[in-house]
Amino acid sequence: MTSKSALLKVILLGDGGVGKSSLMNRYVTNKFDSHLFHTIGVEFLNKELEVDGHHVTLQIWDTAGQERFRSLRTPFYRGSDCCLLTFSVDDGQSFHNLSNWKKEFTYYADVKDPDNFPFVVLGNKLDVPERQVSGEDARQWCRENGGHPYFETSAKDATNVASAFEEAVRRILALDDRADHLIHTNTVDLQRKTPPDPSCC
């Protein structure tokens, strides 16, 4: 039942125009629009799915990548379960900015254990012939920055989009197992009358 499914917040970050909104649209509605507006602020969509026998509700947060909208997006990093760092393979600058995005996220999301926080890196627009970022460069950056999984995607062709999101879920669930294990050994929070709800927190 859905009531037993977890609500997982996944946030898409990356430079303006790298294709965050397109990836979300492709994944949730299976559509692609070659003339998309820049996102202003923050929007989200829910998608229910099953990964390795787990029912989850994925809450995908799409953010505005443009610098001017920083104050609109940063307040909503908090509570994220996974962060999808996105660049466009035809835009070298967007790749170079990945580390800035990661810093911005860790700072505003107030992540307690940044080293173990699940990031997934997406190199989008795989279909574009004029590549500026090689797969090797991207993979190297992922290795050096905490061993993040890397996916080369195309929102236009729907390449790898679903697997990227599913990977995000897997990463979260893997972490949750450990967390669950930890909670049992922890002291009990007396303020809570009912045991913590397994469903969506």
Ligand X SMILES: Nc1nc2c(ncn2[C@@H]2O[C@H](COP(=O)(O)OP(=O)(O)OP(=O)(O)O)[C@@H](O)[C@H]2O)c(=O)[nH]1
In the complex, the residues that contact ligand X under the rule CB under 6 A are 14, 16-22, 33-36, 38-39, 64-66, 124-125, 127-128, 154-156
Spatial neighbors of 141 by CB under 8 A, at least 6 apart, are: 95, 98, 99, 121
CA 35, 67, 166, 161 torsion-angle sign: positive
Binding pattern for the stretch 22-51 against Mg ion, x by CB under 5 A and - elsewhere: -----------------x------------
Nearest approach in angstroms of CB 161 to ligand X is 9
- Judged by CB, which is closer to ligand X: 20, or 171? 20
- Judged by CB, which is closer to another protein: 36, or 128? 36
User: CA–CA separation, 133 vs 95, rounded Å?
Assistant: 7
Strand partners, 9: 59
Q: Is 200 in the site for another protein (CB under 8 A)?
A: yes
How many CB atoms within 10 Å of residue 199?
A: 12
User: CA–CA separation, 60 vs 25, rounded Å?
Assistant: 10
Nearest approach in angstroms of CB 56 to Mg ion is 24
- Integer-rounded Cα Rg, in Å, for the chain is 17
- In the complex, the residues that contact another protein under the rule CB under 8 A are 1-3, 7, 9, 16-17, 28-29, 34-38, 40-46, 57, 59, 61-62, 66, 69, 71-72, 75-76, 78-79, 196-197, 199-201
- In the complex, the residues that contact Mg ion under the rule CB under 5 A are 21, 39
